[in-house]
């Protein structure tokens, strides 16, 4: 099938053939405008009857396609993102809940006094409003974000309702979880209104040995040269071609963190792993097989226990599961791991409502 299709188009199609699942798509705050994004996700929320979510990304690459070459600075992108989200939410709220009249006899579609201009004037954006679509069913779609840099975490604590956590190990995940919750509280938000979902890439086998063998085979499929390029890109564009996979990278090879303008969070993760003495092979496996996620290798019981451990430790409110193989690991997650978690009281057996907010335990704004 075709890859990298435009997400809102795909999600709109999915809304017509599904009844309950959440429909979350990414849209860049650097390469879009708030009015268009507000229209797209308001439309999706109406089409899906309240199941839409917006993954807010500031974009670490792609500037050559949008007239923004070179890529604006990391700080600039997050500053604009903050304005962007405030404007988008204001557009969604520009129609009161009772704005629609739909009075054919009087020829009135909406009550003008219930539709409000936005009139936003900021450093980056100027938007008059109102939106030309009535208020979405959820008031605004669920706001999702995945930042791990200092700017990204501050943005998540202030704006996000679901935060994607991509970390290596329980200690790092717990530290991130606590920082996000504490940051939300510091800006006057209820920490329970920010759900942190830990990213996990589970490799399943009938036995622990089978799972380890599958992981070995999967790692063997990597193109070493390409994997080195991926890691080098995340480390500020350094050339790793002459380093062996089993070598440990010297810290003085890395650029000053202050000059990293793309994925600062991924740079910080790999720098920490290098400081801990991890080999280049380990970095390539994390980057090329799991896109920075924690890899869990084991049988059904082990994967279930791993998830429970993160949840009980207060390092995750839930999980984003991205298996290496949907046909193998994805099916076993659905048919074996999730039922085991349901049996033990850690996963629900039914939806709690009809909207994505209901599913996630989030209140209407």
How would you classify the pairing of strands 126-127 and 120-121? antiparallel
Angle between helices 170-186 and 150-159 (to 10 degrees): 50
d(CA 360, CA 358) in angstroms, rounded, equals 5
Kindly state the tokens that stand for 178. Answer: 């606590």
Collect all residues with Cβ–Cβ distance below 8 Å to 323 and sequence separation of at least 6. 201, 202, 203, 204, 329, 330, 333
Cβ neighbours for 250, distance < 8 A, ≥ 6 positions apart: none
Helices (H), 196-296: 208-220, 224-234, 264-275, 280-290
> Parallel, antiparallel, or unpaired: how do β-strands 318-321 and 100-103 relate?
unpaired
d(CA 56, CA 359): 20
Q: Does 43 appear as a known binding residue?
A: no
Q: Is 302 annotated to bind ligand?
A: no
Q: How far is CA 39 from CA 5, 65, 135, in A?
A: 19, 22, 10
**Cα–Cα distance measured from residue 51 to residue 351, given in angstroms and rounded to the nearest whole number:** 12
Counting beta carbons within 10 angstroms of the beta carbon of residue 77, is it exposed (0 to 12), middle (13 to 18) or buried (19 or more)? buried
- The reply, when asked if residue 149 is annotated as ligand binding, is yes
Helices (H) and strands (E) in the chain, counts: 13, 11
Give the position of tokens 């907010």. Answer: 357
Q: Is 280 within 8 Å of 250 (Cβ atoms)? A: no
Query: If you compute the radius of gyration of the chain from its CA atoms, what whole number of angstroms results?
Result: 22
Return all residues near 246 (Cβ < 8 A) that are at least 6 apart.
279, 280, 281
Give the residue numbers of the binding site: 74, 78, 149
Give the residue numbers of the binding site for FMN: 74, 78, 149
């Amino acid at each position: 099938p075709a890859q990298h299709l435009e997400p809102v188009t795909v999600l709109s199609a999915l809304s017509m053939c599904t009844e309950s699942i959440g429909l979350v798509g990414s849209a860049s705050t650097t390469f879009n405008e708030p009015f268009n994004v507000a229209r797209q996700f308001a439309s999706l929320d109406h089409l899906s009857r309240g199941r839409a979510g917006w993954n807010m990304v500031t974009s670490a690459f792609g500037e050559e396609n949008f007239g923004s070459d070179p890529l604006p600075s990391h700080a600039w992108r997050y500053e604009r993102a903050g304005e962007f989200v405030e404007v988008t939410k204001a557009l969604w709220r520009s129609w009161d809940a009772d704005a629609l009249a739909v009075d054919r006899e009087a020829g009135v579609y909406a009550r003008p006094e219930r539709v409000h201009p936005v009139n936003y004037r900021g450093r980056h954006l100027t938007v008059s409003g109102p939106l030309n679509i009535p208020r979405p069913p959820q008031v605004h779609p669920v706001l999702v974000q995945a930042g791990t840099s200092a700017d990204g975490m501050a943005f998540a604590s202030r704006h996000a309702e679901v935060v994607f956590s991509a970390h290596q190990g329980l200690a790092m995940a717990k530290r991130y979880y606590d920082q996000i919750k504490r940051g939300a509280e510091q800006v006057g938000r209820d920490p329970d209104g920010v759900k942190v979902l830990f990213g996990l890439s589970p490799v399943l086998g009938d036995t622990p040995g089978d799972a380890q063998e599958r992981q070995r085979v999967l790692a063997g499929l990597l193109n070493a040269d390409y994997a080195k390029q991926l890691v080098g890109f995340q480390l500020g564009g350094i050339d790793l071609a002459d380093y062996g996979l089993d070598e440990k990278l010297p810290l003085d090879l890395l650029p000053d963190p202050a000059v990293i303008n793309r994925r600062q969070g991924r740079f910080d993760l790999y720098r920490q792993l290098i400081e801990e003495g991890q080999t280049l092979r380990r970095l390539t496996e994390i980057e090329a097989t799991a896109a920075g996620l924690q890899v869990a290798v084991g049988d059904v019981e082990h994967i279930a226990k791993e998830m429970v451990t993160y949840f009980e430790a207060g390092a995750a409110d839930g999980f984003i599961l991205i298996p290496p193989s949907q046909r193998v690991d994805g099916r076993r997650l659905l048919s074996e791991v999730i039922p085991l978690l349901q049996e033990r009281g850690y996963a629900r057996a039914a939806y709690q409502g009809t909207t994505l907010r209901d599913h996630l335990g989030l209140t209407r704004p």
